[in-house]
Structure 1
């Protein structure tokens, strides 16, 4: 059992664009739309998320809320916009067992209007691997993992965010969900090193180049359940943000030697650009 002491969680309110890239992807549940996953804006008509977030969900059950920061407050400097989903274009090779090709594009019925809190992210146009760079991850996922289904490891740093090979079917034993958008910074790791780290933690994982790993060897900062589909971004020299990855899977939340695994966007730019033409 690994014990990581809980530290006081902090809210990172940063208006230098990272948090402005985040979208709340919501699904209709009985009488209202509830936050399910993250997403990011590509242009005025399309957003990107993880395919496992929208698998077997009809477009009519999905709603995107853009420009939100505090899910519980209407008193914010700029208002949010909501858009219904017209088209769900999941990658045709998505495998729900391995989470390979875990990408989906969502087209809105009506274009969004860009404003200070609603801005698009850039898609990488080359094969830069970003190893050693600092990446930023945002989301409204769980603040920590309170328990595992096997009764194993205890909760982690409340600075951790949320998914893992679980998607967003929340269970009662997990940690709380924040109302305010959270952010962590994590270093990008070589995939071979990532596999070695998982092996040292007792897991044999094959992580092909369609994935990109990011996380701290000591753990403590990570995405977690409910962050799936959200953006992992890296800043360009011109201060704009590149979408390096989309939150896909992991094992546990913020545990040592168990980095987060993201879909590597540069591997899919041709597919993305093709879909965006519609």
Structure 2
């Protein structure tokens, strides 16, 4: 049974933490740095720093990965099918500021494996129109495991403290990779290493929180491009000691994502 899915109710948010693991590795999580308790443990993003970032009216986040497709978490949506009730906000870091775009959804595709396994926590939301001048975020290809080490960047408009309300500003922070074996000491059999990766600090203090669900955990590749390696999924509370953030390990199911995105940049029915 999962500990806590970091999903916002009404206008609070969903929780996330990242860290990928290499099977059989036993690296220990480093101690947490001194940090102000934002994202939790982050700072304000600047306009245009993460241009593909999307805030969703369902209390989750996501990332634009095709002209009209947002990648988010399966636990943020209820089913596959037509859906015009979700509003995606793009192109702004201050939710109360001017500018940006608000676009309604038309269709949702939910990972068919999620309901039975609780893993492969991903979903796609199709937008009614393509936002102009917003780049897409690359996502890790199947088998692209070289990115799952070192540190990752997490971000979102979620709570800045456990149990808090949604942040007005997009926050971001850096968290280290945590091995499967270390993460399983906290979560036991609830962790599914084939499809999930962990990140965070043994001492806590830096993590995603309620309202960050579905948002991307990213890392730069050798070409200097941001790549989505994880999707904020679940964890015990927010930034609690020895309870790391658990993310959907994108490379493990990225072929399924690609197969659902049509050449026109919409969701394949």
- Conserved 8 A contact 1:24-1:68: no
The residue number in structure 2 matching 1:38 is: 61
Contact 1:99 1:248 in 2 (8 A): no
After TM superposition, give the deviation of residue 206 of structure 1 in Å. 3.1
Q: State the TM-score, normalizing by the size of structure 1.
A: 0.74
Shift of 1:14: 4.0
Whether the aligned pair in 2 keeps the contact of 1:135 and 1:185 (CA below 8 Å) is yes
Partner residue, 1:276: 261
In structure 2, C-alpha distance between the alignment counterparts of 1:73 and 1:45, rounded to whole Å: 23
Give the Cα separation in 2 of the matches to 1:43 and 1:131.
23
1:55 paired with 2:78, answer yes
Which secondary structure state, in structure 2, belongs to the residue aligned with residue 42 of structure 1?
Answer: strand
Cα distance in 2 for residues equivalent to 1:63 and 1:241: 25
| Mapped partners of 2:164, 2:127: distance in 1 | 32
**1:6–1:135: structure 2 CA closer, same or farther, 3 Å change rule?**
closer
SS at match of 2:169: coil
CA contact (8 A) 1:71 1:179 kept: yes
Question: Residue 184 in 1 paired to residue 207 in 2?
Answer: no
SS at match of 1:246: strand
Distance 1:15 1:72 in 2: 13
- Which residue of 2 is the match for residue 13 of structure 1? 45
Q: Distance in 2 between matches of 1:16 and 1:227?
A: 19
Unaligned runs of 5+ in 2: 1-33, 263-267
The equivalences for 1:176-215 within 5 A come to 176-196=165-185, 198=186, 205-215=190-200
> Partners of 1:263 and 1:206 in 2: how far apart?
11
How far did 1:228 drift? 0.2
By relative contact order (CA 8 Å, sep 6+), the higher-ranking structure is 2
Instruction: After TM superposition, give the deviation of residue 132 of structure 1 in Å.
Output: 3.0
Q: Does 1:121 align with 2:164?
A: no
Aligned residues: 225
Say whether 1:111 aligns with 2:130.
Answer: yes
The yes-or-no answer on 1:26 pairing with 2:50 is no
Per-residue deviation, 1:84: 1.4
SS at structure 2 position matched to 1:192:
helix
Superposition TM-score, scaled by structure 2 size: 0.77
CA shift digits 1:172-221 (9 cap, x unpaired): xx22322010111101112122112x16xxx6633322011111111100
CA distances 1:9-30 after superposition (whole Å, capped 9, x unpaired):
463334574x323100114xxx
2:118, 2:92 → 1: CA distance?
Answer: 28
